[in-house]
Amino acid sequence: MDIDLQVRIAAFNWLSEQVNSQGDVLPRKLLESGFDFQGQRIPLVAPQGIFKPQILDLPLSITTAPKGPYDDYFGKDNFLIYRYRGTDPNHRDNGGLRKVFELKRPLVYFHGIEPGKYLATYPVYIIGDDPSNLTFKVAVDDAIPVYEPAETNFARQVAEVSDARHAYLTSTVKIRLRQRSFREKVLDAYKSQCAFCRLKHRELLDAAHIIPDNLPEGKSTIENGLSLCKLHHAAYDSFLIGVTPDYIIHVREDILEEEDGPVLQHGLKGLHRTKLILPVSKDKYPSKDALDWRYSRFTKAS
Ligand SMILES: [Zn+2]
């Protein structure tokens, strides 16, 4: 196997380890310091969007900065649109990416969801080059099984290129971007603590929607979000707990009457009539209209 593929596979494997241990939103510092390949440090990002580490002749990753609505990054056909570097189609970086396209080499795509935080997607392939619009078209493929002999695996994947499958897989990135960005924004607004119980372990926290996101009004915005631990997210979603528009927590009556161990006592019953823990800045408070909408459903369920 040539060194180019070896490094790409090592990069995917390393990323998979990071994603498994800390989720798929990765800090930029980690990506800048990169991974060890046969005694050599290989970073995964640099200030420019199209990144080629020293050890390779061709780019290894493409990155978009955190700005603008996600729709801007997707074409009508749901594939990712990646802008050239500058306006010269033959700039070294654009030429490198074109070569990656010709050779069907897999890349990593990093999407900035907020400053210093990136959602990693890999492998992605360049499937189109549009010099008149100064863009490349990018498709996402399935994650590569780590232990499969990689060369045969790539050959198989590239041979199996199916537009429909790639369009579907690529469209899931948009959903992931929205979800991860929602989580980061809401957890940051609440300083990484549960708005009910103050638990401060980010790995145990979710961003809960006040109006569920399967409804048209259920926007993935900070005002429609609450930072909740896993237990309280589930309790809120199943109407065991409600929150009034004045930020007072209510526990369902039949729960209050139950007698059981300490989790029920402290984790649920103890919250009754306590005040929601709110974000520091007022403009990030949960929407009173959304809370009202949700609380009226809670009282109906009680
Ligand atoms: Zn909690």
Q: What is the pLDDT of residues 39-71, one digit of tens each?
A: 999 999 998 899 999 999 999 999 998 776 666
Residue 244: how many CA atoms within 13 Å on its side-chain side? 10
Record the pTM. 0.78
Say how many Å lie between the CA of residue 197 and the centre of ligand 1.
Answer: 4
Percent of the chain topping pLDDT 90:
73
Supply the pLDDT for residue 157.
52
- Which residues fall within 8 angstroms of residue 252, CB to CB, at 6 or more apart? 239, 240, 241, 242, 298, 301, 302
- Say yes or no to pLDDT of 134 above 50: yes
Supply the pLDDT for residue 146.
39
Say how many Å lie between the CA of residue 235 and the centre of ligand 1.
Answer: 9
- Say yes or no to pLDDT of 128 above 90: yes
- Say yes or no to pLDDT of 16 above 80: yes
Supply the pLDDT for residue 211.
97
CA separation for the pair 244, 275 (Å, rounded): 10
Mean pLDDT of 87-116: 94
145: confidence class by pLDDT, cuts 50, 70, 90: very low
**Average of per-residue pLDDT values in the chain:** 90
Which of the listed CATH numbers 2.70.70, 2.60.40, 2.30.280, 2.40.360 matches domain 3-183? 2.30.280
Say how many Å lie between the CA of residue 200 and the centre of ligand 1.
Answer: 9
Q: Which position has the token pair 């940051």? A: 188
Report the DSSP beta bridge partners of residue 151.
none
Supply the pLDDT for residue 141.
81
Instruction: Let me know: does 145 contact 153? Beta carbons within 8 Å.
Output: yes
Say how many Å lie between the CA of residue 221 and the centre of ligand 1.
Answer: 20
Say how many Å lie between the CA of residue 205 and the centre of ligand 1.
Answer: 8
Out of 16-30, 67-81, 144-158, 287-301, give the one with best mean pLDDT.
Answer: 287-301
Report the DSSP beta bridge partners of residue 25.
119
Residues flanking ion ligand 1, Cβ below 5 Å:
194, 196-197, 199, 229, 232
Give residue limits of the domains in the chain. Answer: 3-183, 192-301
Type of residue found at 18: Q
Q: Which of residues 301 and 160 earns the better pLDDT score?
A: 301
CA separation for the pair 91, 202 (Å, rounded): 42
